[in-house]
A and B are shown apart, each in its own frame.
Chain A
Amino acid sequence: MLYYRYRTLWRTFFQELGMEVKASSPTNREVLEHGTALAIDEACLSLKIYLGHVAELIGECDYILVPRVSNFGWHRNMCTRFEALPDLVRNMFRDADQAFLSYDLDVLEKRDEKSAFLEMGRQLGCPVREVKRAYKLAKKAEQAHNKERVQKQERLSKQEGLKILLAGHSYVLEDPYIGRTVTGYLKESGVIPLRADLVDRDGALKRSRELSPTCKWEVSREILGGIVQYRENVDGIILVSAFPCGPDAMVNELIARRVKGVPILNLVLDSQTGTAGVETRLESFIDIIRLKRGTL
C-alpha cells in the first residue's frame, strides 16, 4: 500500500545492500479478485488489492517486505491499518512457507525511520556500516525524487488550461487499476490534473492546520495542506477515496464543509470492473466547471 510513497527509498536501500528487488506486477483484475477472496469482506478496497499483490509474491522471493508504519510523531499518525499490516499478513498467510520482512516506524515509541532501517538491516545480517551507508543513499535518492516530482507539478500548475486538483492517497491515485483511470480520463478530456499530495511535505503539514487543527493522519494532513496551497489556483477539486476508507470518510466530509468557492466532487472508488460509471460522473463534473467558466 505504501509502495508509491516509498518505492525509491526501498529500492535504493536494498540495491545498495546488494539485494535483488522484485515488485509485484501492476494491479489488474486478477490481483483484485484474488485479494478480495482473501480479505475480510468489510476491509477497504486498497487492502484487498494489497493482499492480492502479496499473494502474487508468495514463493517468489526470500523475503516479502511488509512494514509497520504507525506514526511520525504526535498528530502525525497513519491509519491503524498500517499498524496492523505485518501481523495481518503473517496471520493470513501463516500456512504459506514464506518469510516476511518488516520494520517498525513508531516515533511516539522512539523508533524513527533510521533506527527502524538499521534494525531491519541487522535482521538481514548485513554489517551496520553498510546498512547506514545504504540508508543514507536511499534517503537522499528519495528526497531528490520527491523534490523532482513536486517541481514538475509546480511547472504544470503554471500552465494555462482547465485545472482540477485530485485529493487522494498515493496508493489510490497511482494505482493503475483504480486511480489511473481517473487521471487518464481527465487528461483525455483536456484537463490538467494536479495532485494535492505532491507538495513540499513539511510546508503542507503546517498549512493543513488552517483547514483542520486536530487532523491526526499524516497523509491526510499532506493532502489538506496541498488543498490549501492550490485551492485558489484550480477550477475544481475531486476527492478520490477507496471504499470504505476510514480517514477519508471523515476528512473528506470536513473538506466539503470547510472549503467553499470551488466545485468539489466526492468520488468513491469500489471494486466495480467497469469504468463507465466513474466516467459519467467525471464528465458531468467537467461540464459543470466549463459551463461556469463559459467555455462549454
Chain B
Amino acid sequence: MAEKKKRNISFPRFAEYNCAFKYITEQALDARYVMPPVLTKRTMELGAKYSPDFVCTPFKTILGSMIEALEAGADTLFMTHGLCRLGYYGELLEQILRDLGYQFDFINLSDYDMSKKKEYLRIVRRFDPKVNPARFLAQFMEGVRMVEYLDEITAEYYQNCGFDTTGGDYRRAYQDFLTAMYTARGRRDVEEGYRAAKRALRAVPLDKPQRPLKVGIAGEFYTVMDPFSNLELEQKLAEMRVEIHRWMNVTNQFIHHGGQKNMHVKVKDLCAYEMGPTATANIWWARECAERRFDGLIHIKSASCTPEIDVMPVLQNISADYKIPVLYLTYDAQTSDVGLMTRLEAFYDMIDMRKKVL
C-alpha cells in the first residue's frame, strides 16, 4: 500500500517514435508510460472539433491524441518546444484541455530556456524529483539509440518493400521489429530486436529491377514522418514498385545534423539565410535528389504550414533547373484517401513514362 505513486506520463502519437518515449519513461524516469491509442479518424475529429480553424493540422492531431491519452488514464502530459508555431502548441493545448475540464499535470518545454544546459536537469526533475542524473542519461541515450535503429530500419523498409516477392514477408519482418521496440525493457532487447530485424529483412527475396523508379520525399517535420497524417503515402507509393528515399527523420534532423549550420553552406547559392526550421534540410535534400537523378520528388506539408510554403518557390526553381518533377501535397483534417491515390497514380504514370523516354 505504501508504494510510491508513479506518474502516468504520455506524449502524443508521432509516427512510431512512441516506442522510444515509452522506453525512456519506463527505464530512465521510473514512471509508467500511457501509450496513446493508435491514431484514427476519431482522433482527428476530436482534435479538429476543439482546435482553432486555421492552425496547422499536426496541432489538431496532437490535441486529439492527447485527449485520447487522458481518456486512457494519463495524468502527466509532455509537450515539446519548437522553432515555428510548434513552440506555442503547448500553452494553447493546455488551455483547451483545461477548458474541456481535464485534470492533469502539463510539462511544457516552452516554459524553459532550452539554450541553457542547466535547464535540462530542472525539466527532468519535474518528472521525477529523486532522479539520478547519471542513470537517467545512460538510459536516455539507450532511447536515442532506439530512435536511430528505428529510423535506419524504416528507411530500409520503404526503399525495398515494394519489391517483395513473397506477398508480405517484408512487411511482417518490419512489424515484428516494431513490436520488439515497443516491448523492449533493456539494452539487450533493443540490440537483439535490431539485429533480428536486419537479418529478417535481408532474408526476404526481392525482385528489384536494375534501375528502379526512385522518388525523394521532403517536407514538414510531422506530416512527412507520420504515416497516419500523410495517409500512408510512402507505403502506397512503394507498393507501385518505387524506391522511397526520405532524409527527414529524427535521427538525421536532430542527432546527426543538429543545427544544420554546415549543411547550409551547401545551399548558400539557393538561399542566403536560414529560411525556417526545416528549410535548409529540405532545400538541400531536394537538390540532392535532383543531382542523384531521382525520378521525382514529393513535397509534403500540412495546410497553412508557413515555413514550408515559403520553401516552395525555391523548390520550384530547383525543379526548373534540374528538370525534376515535383508533386506538392497539402494535408488537412479532411484529406481523403481517394484524392491522394488519384494524384499518386497520375504522378507515378508520369515519372514512369518519362523514365522510359529519357
Cβ-neighbour of B92 out of A43, A77, A91, A254 (below 8 A): A254
B347 proximal to A (CB < 8 A):
no
Question: Given A80-B84, A80-B306, A216-B87, A87 and B314 touching (CB < 8 A)?
Answer: yes
A144 proximal to B (CB < 8 A):
no
Give the number of A-B contacts (CB < 8 Å). Answer: 111
Contact B83 A80 (CB under 8 A): yes
B277 proximal to A (CB < 8 A):
yes
> In the complex, A10→B35 CA distance in Å?
54
Contact partners of B55 in chain A: CB under 8 A: 249-250, 253
Contact A88 B310 (CB under 8 A): yes
Contact A216 B88 (CB under 8 A): yes
Cβ-neighbour of A91 out of B53, B99, B271, B309 (below 8 A): B271
| Nearest residue, chain B, Cβ from A246 | B306
B129 proximal to A (CB < 8 A):
no
> In the complex, A216→B113 CA distance in Å?
11
> In the complex, A217→B86 CA distance in Å?
12
Give chain B interface residues in 305-321, CB to chain A under 8 Å. Answer: 306-307, 309-314, 316-317
Contact A253 B52 (CB under 8 A): yes
> In the complex, A90→B272 CA distance in Å?
9
Contact B276 A83 (CB under 8 A): yes
Residues of chain A whose beta carbon lies under 8 Å from any beta carbon of chain B: 40, 42-44, 68, 70, 74, 77, 79-81, 83-88, 90-92, 94, 102, 104, 108, 212-217, 243-244, 246-247, 249-254, 257-258
Quote the shortest CB–CB distance from A83 to chain B (angstroms). 6
Contact A258 B95 (CB under 8 A): yes
Quote the shortest CB–CB distance from A259 to chain B (angstroms). 12
Nearest first, the 9 closest Cβ-Cβ pairs linking A and B are: A84-B310, A84-B275, A87-B271, A253-B52, A244-B54, A214-B110, A91-B313, A80-B276, A246-B306
Contact A87 B309 (CB under 8 A): no
Contact A257 B95 (CB under 8 A): yes
Contact A40 B92 (CB under 8 A): no
A-B contact sample (16 more), CB < 8 A, given A80-B275, A91-B314: A43-B310, A74-B115, A81-B306, A81-B310, A84-B276, A86-B272, A87-B273, A92-B313, A104-B273, A214-B108, A244-B304, A246-B85, A246-B304, A247-B88, A252-B52, A253-B55
Contact partners of A251 in chain B: CB under 8 A: 88
Contact B275 A83 (CB under 8 A): yes
Quote the shortest CB–CB distance from A68 to chain B (angstroms). 5
Residue with the greatest number of chain B CB neighbours at <10 A, chosen from A42, A74, A84, A104: A84
> In the complex, A212→B59 CA distance in Å?
18
Cβ-neighbour of A88 out of B85, B108, B110, B275 (below 8 A): B275
Contact partners of A90 in chain B: CB under 8 A: 271-272
> In the complex, A104→B271 CA distance in Å?
13
Cβ-neighbour of B53 out of A40, A43, A249 (below 8 A): A249
Contact A250 B52 (CB under 8 A): yes
Contact B272 A250 (CB under 8 A): no
Contact partners of B274 in chain A: CB under 8 A: 70, 83
Contact partners of B313 in chain A: CB under 8 A: 40, 88, 91-92
Contact B314 A213 (CB under 8 A): no
B303 proximal to A (CB < 8 A):
yes
Contact B85 A250 (CB under 8 A): yes
| Nearest residue, chain A, Cβ from B109 | A214
Contact B88 A214 (CB under 8 A): yes
> In the complex, A104→B277 CA distance in Å?
16
Contact partners of B52 in chain A: CB under 8 A: 249-250, 252-253
> In the complex, A254→B85 CA distance in Å?
14
> In the complex, A169→B85 CA distance in Å?
17
Question: Given A212-B91, A250-B52, A83 and B273 touching (CB < 8 A)?
Answer: yes
A–B Cβ pairs within 8 angstroms, 13 of them: A42-B303, A42-B330, A44-B306, A77-B87, A80-B83, A80-B277, A80-B306, A84-B311, A87-B270, A214-B91, A249-B52, A249-B54, A250-B85
Quote the shortest CB–CB distance from A41 to chain B (angstroms). 9
Give chain B interface residues in 269-319, CB to chain A under 8 Å. Answer: 270-277, 279, 303-304, 306-307, 309-314, 316-317
> In the complex, A102→B272 CA distance in Å?
10
Quote the shortest CB–CB distance from A146 to chain B (angstroms). 26
> In the complex, A212→B88 CA distance in Å?
10
> In the complex, A19→B85 CA distance in Å?
38
B47 proximal to A (CB < 8 A):
no
B143 proximal to A (CB < 8 A):
no
> In the complex, A249→B313 CA distance in Å?
24
| Nearest residue, chain B, Cβ from A256 | B52
| Nearest residue, chain A, Cβ from B82 | A216
Residue with the greatest number of chain A CB neighbours at <10 A, chosen from B88, B110, B115, B330: B88
Contact B91 A40 (CB under 8 A): no
| Nearest residue, chain B, Cβ from A243 | B54
| Nearest residue, chain A, Cβ from B314 | A91
Contact partners of A257 in chain B: CB under 8 A: 95-96, 99
> In the complex, A3→B277 CA distance in Å?
25
> In the complex, A128→B1 CA distance in Å?
74
Residue with the greatest number of chain B CB neighbours at <10 A, chosen from A40, A44, A85: A40
> In the complex, A257→B110 CA distance in Å?
20
B337 proximal to A (CB < 8 A):
no
> In the complex, A81→B85 CA distance in Å?
11
Contact A86 B273 (CB under 8 A): yes
Contact B273 A68 (CB under 8 A): yes
Contact partners of B279 in chain A: CB under 8 A: 84
B111 proximal to A (CB < 8 A):
yes
> In the complex, A244→B303 CA distance in Å?
10
> In the complex, A42→B307 CA distance in Å?
12
> In the complex, A212→B111 CA distance in Å?
11
Contact partners of B275 in chain A: CB under 8 A: 80, 83-84, 87-88
Contact partners of A68 in chain B: CB under 8 A: 273
B90 proximal to A (CB < 8 A):
yes
